[in-house]
C-alpha cells in the first residue's frame, strides 16, 4: 500500500491546500447547527479539525459518547459531517425502509463508490443473500468444507514437526477467498489464480483510493482520480472480471438454459443472482459481474479475514481458552470434517462466544448502522433529520459501556455462553450490545454465512495447529486505525506448527 501512495504526483496536494478554505468552511445545515460538535481542538480552524479526524477518530467518538450520553453529536470528517445518534433512537430507526434511511447510500458515500466501482442502483446482492445464500447454507456447506480441504493444503505451509513463520492475515485471507469462491462463483472459477489475486488485491486498491481521495472536496475528486494509480487498477480489475470471467460465463449459462433440455443450473451465488434479476439493469451481465466482485471483495472476504485474525491474536494472548475450545471442536467434529453440518457449528457455543467477544473489542469500526437520510424526517422527540444527513451509531463505545454490558472493559471469552438459556447472545444476534453487523431491517444479511465460514476455518486451525509469537513475546499486535476504521495488524507474523493429533 505504501508503494502505491508514493506513486501519487505532488501537484494534487497543492490543489488540496488551495481548495481548503472553499471546502472546509461549508456551514452545516440549519438543523445540524444546533447540535453539539466534537472537535480535536476549538482553537484550530475546522479544516484542521476535519483532517485530524483521520488520526484521532476513536478518541473523538468516545469523548462525544461519554460527554453527551443521550444526545446526538456531530463529528467533522475530512469530506463531510457525521451525525452520531445515541442508543435511544435505535427502536425508532430499526424498521425504517431504505426509501427513508438508506444503508446502501451511506456505504456508497463511505467508500467513495463513484470511484471504486460500487453500484448503488440495485438491491440484487442483498436480495440474493436473503433468498438464495442464507436458505442454502446447510446445502452448500459440504462444498465449502471440501474446498477448505484443498485450501489448507495450498495456503498453510508445511509445519508438521517444526515452527514456521507465517503472516496470519494473509494465510486466513487465502483460506477465506478459496472457500467462499466455491460457493459464490462456482467450481469452474474458484481456483483461477487471476480471480483469487483480483479478489484479495481489490480491497487494497479500494482502500488506497479512499485514503487519497477523501481529503479532497467533491468538485476536485474527478480531477484527482484521473491521476491515481489505484483508481486505474480498480478499473482494470473490473474489466478483467467482466470480460474475461463472468460475462462469457453468464452468456454461456443463459444459452445452455435456453437450448439444452437436459441442462442443470449450477447451484451458486452467481446463478441465484441471474435467477433473481428482474429488470434490465440487474440482468445486464456487466452489472452482475460488477456486483459479484464487490460482494466478494468487500462483503465476504476481508471482513471475515479481519474477524478471524483478531480472534487468533486474542486467543494467543489468552491461552487459557485454547483447550476448552479444542475440547468443543473435538466433540462437534468427532465424526470427521467431511461429516460436519450446520448443526455442528451451531453447537459450538464457546467458539461463537469467543468470536463475539473478540469482535466487541476489535470491531471493523467505531461506528455502525450508517444511514443516509433520503427525505426530511422528524423523530418522536423533535430531532430533525434533513435530507442528505449521514447518521450512524457509536457501536464501539456502546459495547464498552457498563450500563449496556456488565463489566464491559473486561475480556471474557465465554461471556456469551455462560447462560445456556440466554437468547440473542450469539455472534450473529443483533442488539444494542452487538451492533457490529448493523441493526434493524438493513443489518448485514450475510452474517449467517460468514459465521459458518469463520467457524469452519477457526475450528480447524484451533484443533490442528499451535500458535506462538516470534521471539516468545506475548504482546498482541497493535490494531491499525484510520479514521473510524479498525483493522488487525496485517503485517505481523506468528509461528505456526501442526499438532500431533491422534
Tens digit of each residue's pLDDT, the chain (502 residues): 333 333 444 444 444 444 444 444 445 566 677 899 999 999 999 989 998 999 999 999 999 999 999 999 999 998 889 999 999 999 999 989 999 999 999 999 999 999 999 888 899 999 999 999 999 999 999 999 999 999 999 999 999 989 999 999 999 999 999 999 999 999 999 999 999 999 999 988 998 999 899 888 788 899 999 999 999 999 999 999 999 999 999 999 999 999 999 999 999 999 999 999 999 999 999 999 999 999 999 889 999 999 999 999 999 999 999 999 999 999 999 989 889 999 999 999 999 999 999 999 999 999 999 999 999 999 999 999 999 999 999 999 999 999 999 999 999 999 999 887 776 789 999 999 999 999 999 999 999 999 999 999 999 999 999 999 998 788 999 999 999 999 999 999 999 999 987 5
Map residue 167 onto helix, strand or coil: strand
Q: Are 17 and 26 in contact (CB under 8 A)?
A: no
- Identify the CATH number of the domain in which residue 471 sits: 1.10.630.10
| 24-67 tens-digit pLDDT | 444 556 667 789 999 999 999 998 999 899 999 999 999 999 99
Encode pLDDT of 183-203 as tens digits: 999 999 999 999 999 999 998
Binding-site residue positions for heme: 444
Q: Give the whole-angstrom CA distance, residue 403 versus residue 318.
A: 26
Query: Which residues are documented as binding site?
Result: 444
Contacts of 44 (CB under 8 A, 6+ apart): 52
What is residue 289's three-state secondary structure? Answer: helix
Contact 152, 460 (CB under 8 A): yes
Cα 385 from chain centroid? 27
Q: Is 178 exposed, middle or buried (0-12, 13-18, 19+ CB in 10 A)?
A: buried
H-helix or E-strand containing 368? Answer: strand 368-373
Residue range(s) defining the domain that contains residue 494: 2-498
d(CA 168, CA 314): 13
Number of structural domains in the chain = 1
Cell numbers standing for residue 189: 472459477
Amino acid at each position: 500500500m505504501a508503494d502505491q501512495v508514493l506513486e501519487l504526483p505532488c501537484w494534487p496536494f497543492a490543489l488540496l491546500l488551495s481548495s481548503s478554505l472553499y471546502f472546509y468552511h461549508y456551514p452545516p445545515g440549519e438543523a445540524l447547527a444546533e447540535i453539539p460538535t466534537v472537535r480535536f481542538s476549538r482553537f484550530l480552524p475546522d479544516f484542521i479539525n476535519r483532517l485530524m479526524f483521520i488520526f484521532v477518530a476513536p478518541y473523538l467518538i468516545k469523548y462525544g459518547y461519554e460527554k453527551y450520553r443521550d444526545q446526538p453529536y456531530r463529528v467533522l470528517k475530512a469530506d463531510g459531517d457525521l451525525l452520531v445518534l445515541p442508543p435511544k433512537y435505535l427502536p425508532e430507526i430499526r424498521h425504517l425502509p431504505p426509501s427513508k434511511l438508506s444503508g446502501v447510500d451511506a456505504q456508497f458515500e463511505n467508500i467513495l463508490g463513484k470511484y471504486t466501482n460500487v453500484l448503488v442502483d440495485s438491491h440484487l446482492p442483498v436480495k440474493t443473500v436473503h433468498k438464495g445464500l442464507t436458505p442454502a447454507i446447510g446445502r452448500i456447506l459440504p462444498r465449502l468444507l471440501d474446498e477448505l480441504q484443498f485450501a489448507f493444503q495450498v495456503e498453510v505451509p508445511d509445519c508438521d514437526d517444526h515452527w514456521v513463520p507465517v503472516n496470519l492475515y494473509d494465510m486466513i485471507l487465502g483460506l477465506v477467498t478459496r472457500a467462499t469462491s466455491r460457493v459464490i462463483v462456482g467450481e469452474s472459477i474458484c481456483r483461477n489464480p487471476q480471480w483469487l489475486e483480483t479478489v484479495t488485491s481489490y480491497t487494497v486498491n479500494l482502500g488506497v483510493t479512499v485514503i487519497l481521495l477523501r481529503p479532497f472536496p467533491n468538485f476536485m475528486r474527478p480531477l484527482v482520480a484521473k491521476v491515481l494509480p489505484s483508481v486505474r487498477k480498480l478499473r482494470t480489475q473490473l474489466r478483467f472480471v467482466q470480460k474475461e470471467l463472468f460475462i462469457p460465463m453468464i452468456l454461456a449459462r443463459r444459452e445452455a438454459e435456453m437450448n439444452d433440455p437436459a441442462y442443470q443450473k449450477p447451484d451458486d451465488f452467481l446463478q441465484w443472482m441471474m435467477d433473481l434479476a428482474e429488470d434490465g439493469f440487474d440482468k445486464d451481465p456487466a452489472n452482475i459481474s460488477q456486483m459479484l466482485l464487490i460482494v466478494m471483495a468487500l462483503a465476504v472476504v476481508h471482513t471475515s479475514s479481519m474477524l478471524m485474525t483478531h480472534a487468533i491474536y486474542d486467543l494467543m494472548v489468552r491461552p487459557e481458552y485454547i483447550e476448552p475450545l479444542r475440547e468443543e471442536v473435538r466433540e462437534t467434529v468427532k465424526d470427521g470434517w467431511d461429516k460436519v453440518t450446520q448443526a455442528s457449528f451451531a453447537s459450538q457455543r464457546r467458539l461463537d462466544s469467543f468470536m463475539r467477544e473478540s469482535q466487541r473489542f476489535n470491531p471493523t469500526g467505531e461506528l455502525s448502522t450508517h444511514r443516509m437520510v433520503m427525505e426530511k424526517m422528524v423523530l418522536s422527540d423533535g430531532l430533525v433529520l434533513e435530507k442528505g444527513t449521514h447518521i450512524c451509531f457509536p457501536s464501539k463505545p456502546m459495547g464498552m459501556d457498563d450500563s449496556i454490558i456488565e463489566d464491559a472493559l473486561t475480556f471474557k471469552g465465554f461471556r456469551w455462553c455462560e447462560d445456556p438459556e440466554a437468547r440473542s447472545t450469539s455472534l450473529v444476534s443483533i442488539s444494542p450490545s452487538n451492533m457490529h453487523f448493523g441493526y434493524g431491517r438493513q443489518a448485514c444479511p450475510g452474517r449467517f454465512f460468514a459465521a459458518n465460514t469463520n467457524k469452519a476455518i477457526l475450528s480447524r486451525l484451533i484443533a490442528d495447529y499451535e500458535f506462538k509469537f516470534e521471539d516468545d513475546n506475548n504482546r498482541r499486535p497493535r490494531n491499525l486505525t484510520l479514521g473510524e476504521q479498525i483493522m488487525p495488524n496485517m503485517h505481523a507474523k506468528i509461528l505456526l506448527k501442526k499438532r500431533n493429533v491422534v
